[in-house]
């Protein structure tokens, strides 16, 4: 089986609420390799204009992580990236090339507060595109406006060429029948997958316990429900879209 590509996770150490030190980072990388992942994008949180981002520390962590993979013979490459929480300063940061895109592409992983309106998200992603970057909407299942109207995601794709990422944990989650959020999230994810709207599933792993890598489990689930072809695209086969 081809190894998966995980475009969203927090394994770069001492950068955010993911791996807190190099040892933790090593455990996450070993877990990814064991989960049949061949490439991870270490997408540390970035909040332009609000929280300073230590670029030197970040790139040095990426180098150390790749050196560790080599020294342990892990079949795994760590690529740079970040998860941008959209702020008023994001477009300026993009134009000044201060936002780390996904690998060598011109795509950036963008997230929002979960209560932002559809108009806000649409406008923000349009600004990202206008700055010359292709936006990848992080964990699309997390936004209430989209849960309430799943078909509005089609507008983001068709008008802005946004790419859509779902979290493996959300795809696999056991939900309560009594929670209206759970029911909406389930309906949203089904709509994204039934209509082949989602482009990527990624782990958004923060650790090796409560928010761990689950690519293989997710691939197996998707393969059974939606077939091997779409599952392969979601777990890495669509990576070319980042440079499209």
Residues making contact with Fe ion (CB under 5 A)? 83, 204
**Nearest CB to Fe ion, comparing residues 185 and 204:** 204
Q: 114: how many CB neighbours lie within 10 A of its CB?
A: 14
Closest CB to Fe ion: residue number: 204
Closest distance between Fe ion and the C-beta of residue 190, in Å?
22
Closest distance between Fe ion and the C-beta of residue 43, in Å?
6
Residue 20 in tokens: 């807190």
Closest distance between Fe ion and the C-beta of residue 121, in Å?
16
CA–CA separation, 198 and 192 (whole Å):
5
**76 touches 104 (CB < 8 A):** no
**Nearest CB to Fe ion, comparing residues 11 and 231:** 11
**Nearest CB to Fe ion, comparing residues 153 and 202:** 202
Residues facing residue 82 across a β-bridge: 44
**Nearest CB to Fe ion, comparing residues 83 and 185:** 83
Closest distance between Fe ion and the C-beta of residue 150, in Å?
21
DSSP secondary structure, 126-171, as one string: HHHHHTT-EEEETTGGG-HHHHH-TTHHHHHHHHH--EEEEEHHHH
């Amino acid at each position: 089986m081809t190894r998966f590509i995980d475009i969203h996770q927090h394994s770069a150490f001492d950068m955010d609420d993911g791996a807190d030190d190099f040892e933790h980072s090593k455990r996450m990388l070993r877990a990814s390799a064991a989960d049949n992942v061949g490439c991870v994008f270490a997408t540390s949180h970035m909040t332009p204009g609000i929280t300073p981002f230590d670029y030197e520390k970040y790139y040095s962590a990426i180098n150390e992580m790749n050196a560790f993979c080599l020294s342990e013979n892990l079949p795994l490459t760590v690529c740079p990236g970040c998860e941008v929480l959209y702020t008023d300063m994001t477009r300026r940061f993009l134009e000044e090339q201060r936002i780390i895109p996904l690998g060598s592409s011109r795509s950036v992983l963008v997230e929002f507060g979960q209560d932002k309106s559809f108009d806000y998200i649409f406008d923000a992603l349009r600004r990202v595109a206008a700055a010359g970057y292709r936006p990848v909407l992080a964990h699309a299942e997390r936004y209430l406006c989209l849960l309430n109207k799943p078909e509005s995601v089609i507008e983001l794709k068709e008008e802005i060429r946004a790419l859509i990422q779902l979290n493996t944990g959300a795809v696999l989650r056991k939900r309560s029948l009594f929670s209206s959020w759970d029911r909406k999230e389930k309906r949203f994810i089904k709509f994204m997958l039934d209509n082949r709207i989602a482009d990527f599933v990624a782990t958004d792993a923060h650790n090796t316990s409560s928010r761990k890598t689950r690519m293989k489990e997710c691939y197996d689930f998707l393969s059974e429900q939606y077939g091997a072809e779409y599952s392969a695209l979601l777990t890495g086969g669509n990576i070319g879209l980042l440079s499209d």
